[in-house]
Amino acid sequence: MLIQLPDVLSPEVVAQCRQVLDSAAWIDGAVTAGFQSGQVKRNEQLAEDSPAARQLGDIILGALRQNLLFNSAALPAEIFPPLFNRYSVNQTFGNHVDNAIRESRVTGQRIRTDLSATLFFSGPEEYEGGELVIDDTYGVHRVKLPAGHMILYPSTSLHRVTPVTSGARVASFFWLQSLVRDDGQRTLLFDLDMNIIRLRQAQGDTPEVVSLTGIYHNLLRRWAET
C-alpha cells in the first residue's frame, strides 16, 4: 500500500525547519547506505547525531503522533529516528531495496523495516527531476509532493530517486516497524478503518458501525505483534 499524507507539517513549521536545514552542515549520504545501495547512492545527509537532525526529528515524530491518518495506515510500533537528505544537481539514488533491519547509531534502537517514509521539505517548484519512483505489484509510481507532505510505502519495494537537474531536493526519510508485519493485512485494516470512520460520520454509532468496529479490533488483535 502506498499512501500520501498531506500536511504532516504546516507551511509555518516547514519554513522553520528549512531555516535549520539550509544552514546545516551536510555530509556524504553514503554513510547510511548498505553495500548494494552504496554503489548507487549520490546525495548528502545530515549526520545522525547532529543537533539539527535531532531537533527536526523530534518535530516530525511529534507531528506523526497526532496524525490520525498516519497511525491508521502504519499502525506504528517503533519509528526510526528521522534522517535528512539533500539532492543537488546531478545527484541521484539508483534502484535499491531498503535494508531489512536498521540500527540507529545514536540511540542503538534496532527495528525491522516494514514501512519507508519520505517527508518533503522542498516544493516541486524548487527543483527539476528528483522524483521518488516506487515499483510495486501494481506498476510504477512517481512521487513528487508539496513541502510538508509525506509518502508511506512498503520497505520491500524497489525504489529510486531520479537525478536532480536543477535546484535541490530536501527531505526527511525514515523507517518504521508496524504492529502488523504483513502489508496485505495492514491494507485491509486501513480500508476497514476508513470506511468505519465514514459510516460513523454519516450515520453515527449505529449497531452496524459498532459491529464493524468490533471486527476491526478483533482482526487487529489476531494480527498484531506487540
State how far the Cα of 22 lies from the Cα of 1, in Å rounded to an integer.
32
Residue from 177, 191, 154, 153 nearest 225 by CA = 177
CATH number assigned to the domain comprising residue 25: 2.60.120.620
Output the pTM of the full model.
0.93
pLDDT per residue over 41-100, tens digit each?
Answer: 899 999 999 999 999 999 999 999 999 999 999 999 999 999 999 999 999 999 999 999
Which range marks the domain in which residue 171 is found? 3-178
Q: Is 171 found in the same domain as 75?
A: yes
Dump pLDDT digits (tens) for 19-29.
999 999 999 87
Identify whether residues 63 and 164 lie together within a single domain.
Answer: yes
Are residues 39 and 127 located together in one domain of the fold? yes
Are 165 and 196 members of one domain? no
| Pair 173, 197 in one domain | no
Question: What pLDDT, on a 0 to 100 scale, did the predictor assign at position 33?
Answer: 59
185-226 per-position pLDDT tens digit: 999 999 999 999 999 999 999 999 999 999 999 999 999 998
Same structural domain, 120 and 72? yes
| pLDDT value for 123 | 97
Q: Are residues 120 and 187 in the same domain?
A: no
Single-letter amino acid code for the residue at 108: G
Query: In CATH, what number is assigned to the domain containing residue 203?
Result: 4.10.860
Q: Are residues 16 and 69 in the same domain?
A: yes
Verify that 154 and 204 share a domain, yes or no: no
Distance of CA 36 to the CA centre of its chain: 21
Going from the C-alpha of 117 to that of each of 2, 20, 192, the distances in angstroms are: 10, 21, 22
- Note the pLDDT of residue 38: 60
The per-residue pLDDT for 133 is 98
The verdict on 191 and 141 lying in the same domain is no
37 and 110 in a single domain? The answer is yes
Exposed e or buried b per residue across 50-82, where buried means at least 16 C-beta atoms within 10 angstroms of its C-beta = bebbbebbebbeebbeebebbebbbbbbebbbb
In a shared domain, residues 52 and 141: yes
pLDDT score at 138: 80
Query: Could you tell me if 91 and 43 are in contact, meaning their C-beta atoms sit under 8 angstroms apart?
Result: yes
Predicted pLDDT of residue 226: 83
Give the pLDDT confidence of 161-185 residue by residue, as tens digits.
999 999 999 999 999 999 999 999 9
Number of domains in the chain: 2
Nearest Cα residue to 53 out of 18, 33, 72, 81: 81
